[in-house]
Amino acid sequence: MAFFKRRTGRKDDGLEGIRVRVQPHNRPRMRRPGSALSMPRMLAWGVALATVFYILAHYSIVAGVWPVHGTAPGAGAVLMRDVAAGVAWLLLLPVMKFLGYRGSWLLVALPVILFFVTRPSLFQLFSDPVYQASGAERTEANELKAERSQLTTVIRAYDEERQQIVFGGPPPALPDPVEAAASATREVGWSIGRMASYFTVFLAPLALLVGFLWARRGGSLRSFREHRVWPFAVTLAIFFVLALFFTELGKVGGTTPWELLLPIFIMVWAAVLADDAYNIARPGEVMSVRRIGAMLVYGALPVVPFLLIRELGLSIVLAGSLATMLLVGTRRGWWAGLMLVVWAVLVVVAFNVDERSATRLELAYDPYPELEIGTPAAEEWAATLHQIKLFDANILDGGIFGEGAGRGHAGTAPNAADDGYITTIAAQWGLLGGLSLILLYTAFLVQMLVVAAGERGAFERSLVTGLAMLIAIPFWLATLGGVRVIPLTGVAAAFVANGGAKLLASALAVGIVAALSHRRAEADRLNAPHAVPGARSESGVRIR
Amino acid sequence: MSALLGWLLRAIFVALGVGAAIWLARWAREAGQRPGERWPVRIGLGMLLLAGAYAIGHARLLVKRPELEAARARWAFYGDPRLTEERRAEVRGWILDCSGDPSDALALYRERDGSMVRAYPLEEGGANLIGGGEDAGERDFTVERLFADRLREPRSLAELGEPHPAGKDLQLTLCLNATARAWELLENTGHPGAVIVQDVNTGAVVAYAATGGPQQAPVGIQEYSPPGSVWKLALSALWWEAGLPEMVLTCPSEIRLSERALIENAGRFSLPPVTVPEGMLIPSCNTTAVEMALIMRERLGEEAFVEAFRRFGFVPYTDNAPTGFQTDFWATSSEEWAERMSPPPARIRIGPETNRAEWGQLAIGQGPLDVTPIHISRFMQAIGNDGVMLKPTIEAEQAAEPAGGERIMSETTAERLQAVMLEIVDRGTARSVRPRVEDLAWDLGGKTGTAQVRGEPDNGWFAGLIFGADGDPRYSVTVFLEGGGPGGRQPASIAAELTRLLAARTESRAGESAE
């Protein structure tokens, strides 16, 4: 447990100018050269365990599930992609060390762990012949999967005598798992959307690095803050164009590119708050036309396109993030109270005015009404109920311990990899697995907020909080929606659920937060007083 | 290997979660003491509350499992791909017959055109108890349905880690060939009805065949009928149990009990005076039975009847007929079976208010008397087991260690009844089937019954015992044919054929084990 007590990012090499040769083995562990750059040992163990999990869970699916269920076309490519993604995420850690990262390692390692423990479940869905099929093909795939499952189970579990009774002769040979994996790789058509969804998994670590490298130097953020109008205007324009002209059923070519725009809105809003935090914190000063106008433009206008495309979930994510930043940037509780009132009013209005929202509310709290089966009303409700009924089934099937890697029937639920990701985890890893994931994710979010709490500048503090909320809100919406604590909103959680643009945007955001954490650690290191033993810290000698 | 790997992965997942929990606990403890901004810390603490909300929400769904499962089942009417995938892909355990030999399984898998299909060798003959047959999906009075959870249980620990664990077998006491033959014989009569064979020493149901559609309650277990002259066995048992002496009574062709109540012998036969009870049972003389019942009422009182019939497993009542189901009827490990397959109470309205006419009716198994074939079968099992009644069972595990039965009559009474039943087949109402068992080392005894139902053809009964070569009763056999009377013909004939089959089967097995 030493890891939990240890503070990273400190390096004390003694007073400059006085060279003392100390044999390395005599130095305290934390003072050995390069030790502050290393990941804490317990965290490294965590990453190692998650890596083992990632590899073994994939193996368990390929060797245990694929031969039984068969695979969807392109399953082999999905496997190769996951191998590449695993390598890419693991490489991130030594690269960060190479770059001299001194910030919180939890920030960088926990996304890797989260990705590693959840990806196998999604991998099973992406290679499942039924989950990947659509329309009429789905029924056929279901039949074939069932037939194959029965056949392989009989061949595996029955002794010779029984097989003789079943087959009336020699049984057919069991398909070889490796061959099955190889034969599953088929040529599939490539579109931009498909390529994007394929590559984001291993591009995400790169995005994190890009975010880190960009924000590591104070000049980049400072420049962005000073010239925020242009990036804001361009981003908003792109967003409106996408929303008005290219969106079909809430997506653009099967993707949600606006996820990538959200960190920009967050950064702009952080800049706006930081520049005027003093006045925004005072109720009397807020009430000026210029200030209210700025708040509406930078804080409310970015939400409008989401409302235009009826993307209620993401509008909550962005509005919630911006509101939280307002609270943290101004440090005024009354903003929290005000935001809560506005939020409550909006929720009441949404659930009373918007039929879709009202239906989702009912689905969360009373999904199985006592309607007479066979009536038109029941038939209509059955169509609405379909997804939530199968999400419930996932959770019930998983029980406490779950069915195991790739086991169970999570893939029968529509959007089991997106909206219902937590029910897929629950089906395969049970209540304990679900709780473990939630704790890991909570630790990750809390660590981001710890970084925010440690920031002294309003801009950095608001920015880190906003980026943390950009990841936290969809996570909680998706997770609590899956277990029907709140209505489903249709947003995806970063790192643990399917969603290419969300993953890239979140990785970028984590990279920026890591950069700020690194900068703070560097500043603390440089500012750290070198005191004589036993002296109070404020009486130390500052070495510049 | 697969199961081990599964548990290793679970352990890693949970270990990571525990690590995170420890870190969070430390952070929460120290959060208030660290310097820095308060609002992010407060939001972080809010995240912990949300994690708690998740835990409660997830656990709540698991706690509400029965309710949610029931609701899902209800809404599955509109399709449930999960259930379809689970059911179509599952490999249940086999339902084995009394031998435990997989080649004689009652439900198994067979490959047909590259697909696995659940096969039921008994076909329609087993549709009412095992499963399969036409409209199999609609039948819910079947072992396949009621023992579904058991058949889906993974057959070993290793199976737990498999995507589709092969289910555990269930061995029944039913024998494939005996049940198949019983069904064949029943079907050939063209009458609705049931045939039940029980092992008298264990209560195990060795053969069960019954007609009936998917919407119909199982005929052999839940359909009421008056037992007709089979009831005379109960009357005679009471006679002997009460210690009444042998008596010579007349057997006229009819006996008038009141102005409107006249009881006749079948075909209005009459006999010279007979010594009761044997003399009444062998020719099944109705008028003598009525006279016996009246004498017993006078000498023993109504309460003795009530007490004796209750002991024999029937439910006497006076005003309101008992309803519901006897959920403790079977020796079973399955609550679903007990709930769904229990018979209604076999009931008899009898008491001080019972008038003379009704009393006479009751003596010959008519009037306010409702029994099911399985009740009669259980009564016969007790006679065959020297007076000790055991709970019937279809599960081999239960039959292997039968719970202590209940003595319902003395050994002497049971032996007397056994002896007289042999006489009935030798020279009584079932003598027509004597030639069919004459060449066997085994023997058949039994009582015939022909129950009158107003406006319908007579129901035929045969309730008997199959005796082994050593002269001891081995099986009870109960045949009920709706509209298939008289009992001495088709019902007795079915019993004789089953005697032949069981004798041949046992001897052939004895031969095999000797080799």
Taking each helix axis from N to C end, the angle separating B2-31 and B38-63, rounded to the nearest 10 degrees, works out to 140
Q: Is the pLDDT of residue A183 over 80?
A: no
Q: Locate tokens 């606990």: which residue?
A: B25
User: What is the structure's pLDDT at A530?
Assistant: 55
Q: Count CA within 13 A, CB hemisphere, residue B318.
A: 9
The C-alpha atoms of residue B142 and residue B107 are separated, in whole angstroms, by 11
Beta-carbon separation of B62 and A412 below 8 A:
no
Q: Count CA within 13 A, CB hemisphere, residue A39.
A: 21
Q: In chain A, positions 188-227, which contact chain B (CB-CB < 8 Å)?
A: none
| Residue A6 pLDDT level (bands cut at 50, 70, 90) | very low
The C-alpha atoms of residue A241 and residue A491 are separated, in whole angstroms, by 21
SS3 B471: coil
Average pLDDT score, chain A: 84
Beta-carbon separation of A373 and B16 below 8 A:
no
Angle made by CA atoms A142, A143, A147, in degrees to the nearest 5 = 115
Q: Locate tokens 């016969």: which residue?
A: B380
Contact with chain A for residue B159, Cβ under 8 A: yes
| Residue A4 pLDDT level (bands cut at 50, 70, 90) | very low
* Alpha helical stretches, state H, A354-496: 355-365, 376-398, 421-454, 458-482
Q: Locate tokens 């096969």: which residue?
A: B119
Q: Quote the minimal CA–CA distance from B186 to chain A in Å.
A: 29
User: What is the structure's pLDDT at A289?
Assistant: 85
Q: In chain A, positions 326-345, which contact chain B (CB-CB < 8 Å)?
A: 327-328, 331
Q: Is the pLDDT of residue A19 over 70?
A: no
Residues of chain B with pLDDT under 50: none
Question: Which H, E and C letters describe A396-424, residue by residue?
Answer: HHHCCCCCCCCCCCHHHCCCCCCCCHHHH
Among A358, A322, A315, A317, residue whose Cα is nearest residue A339: A322
Strands in B357-455 per DSSP E = 369-370, 388-389, 406-407, 443-453
User: What is the structure's pLDDT at A193?
Assistant: 58
Contact with chain B for residue A48, Cβ under 8 A: no
User: What is the structure's pLDDT at A9?
Assistant: 45
Using an 8 Å Cβ cutoff, are A412 and B82 in contact?
yes
Q: Which residues of A touch B161 (CB under 8 A)?
A: 64, 404, 407
Q: A372-376, A474-478, B296-300, B505-509 — which is least confidently predicted?
A: B505-509
Q: Is the pLDDT of residue A544 over 50?
A: no
The DSSP code sequence of B302-314 is HHHHHHHHHHTT-
Q: Which residues of A touch B13 (CB under 8 A)?
A: 53, 117, 429, 432-433, 436-437
Q: Which residues of A touch B71 (CB under 8 A)?
A: 367-368
Using an 8 Å Cβ cutoff, are B500 and B466 in contact?
no
Interchain CB contacts (distance < 8 Å): A and B: 287
User: What is the structure's pLDDT at A173?
Assistant: 64
Q: In chain B, positions 114-143, which contact chain A (CB-CB < 8 Å)?
A: 114-116
Q: Quote the minimal CA–CA distance from A20 to chain B in Å.
A: 34
Q: Which secondary-structure segment (H or E) carries B74?
A: helix B65-75
Using an 8 Å Cβ cutoff, are B337 and B325 in contact?
no
Q: Is the pLDDT of residue A28 over 80?
A: no
In chain A, how long is the greatest CA-to-CA distance?
A: 91
The pLDDT of A86-98, averaged and rounded, is 95
Task: Give the closest of B16, B26, B90 to A436, CB-based.
Answer: B16
Helix, strand, coil percent values for chain A (each to nearest 5) = 70, 0, 25
The DSSP code sequence of B235-265 is HHHHHHHTTPPPEEEEE-SEEE-SSS-EEE-
The pLDDT of A388-406, averaged and rounded, is 93
Quick check: bond before B226 cis, omega within 30? no
Q: Count CA within 13 A, CB hemisphere, residue B194.
A: 26
CB atoms within 10 A of CB A232: 21
- Categorise residue B107: left if φ over 0, alpha if ψ from -120 to 50, beta otherwise: beta
Q: How many contiguous H segments (helices) and E segments (strands) does chain A have?
A: 22, 0
User: What is the structure's pLDDT at A144?
Assistant: 80
Taking each helix axis from N to C end, the angle separating B65-75 and A376-398, rounded to the nearest 10 degrees, works out to 140
* Selected residue of B24, B58, B155 to mutate for chain A interface (largest A Cβ count, 10 A): B58
Angle made by CA atoms B78, B83, B86, in degrees to the nearest 5 = 160
> What letter represents residue B356's amino acid?
R
The structure tokens listed for B4 are 């081990």
Q: What is the pTM of this model?
A: 0.77
Task: Give the closest of A389, A393, A434 to B58, CB-based.
Answer: A434
The structure tokens listed for A28 are 């305290």
Radius of gyration for the alpha carbons in chain B, expressed in angstroms and rounded: 30
How many residues make up chain A in this entry? 544
How many residues make up chain B in this entry? 515
User: What is the structure's pLDDT at B198?
Assistant: 97
Structure ipTM:
0.87
Instruction: For residue range A507-543, list pLDDT tens digits in order.
Output: 999 999 999 999 998 888 777 655 555 555 454 444 4
The C-alpha atoms of residue A132 and residue A78 are separated, in whole angstroms, by 12
User: What is the structure's pLDDT at B99?
Assistant: 93
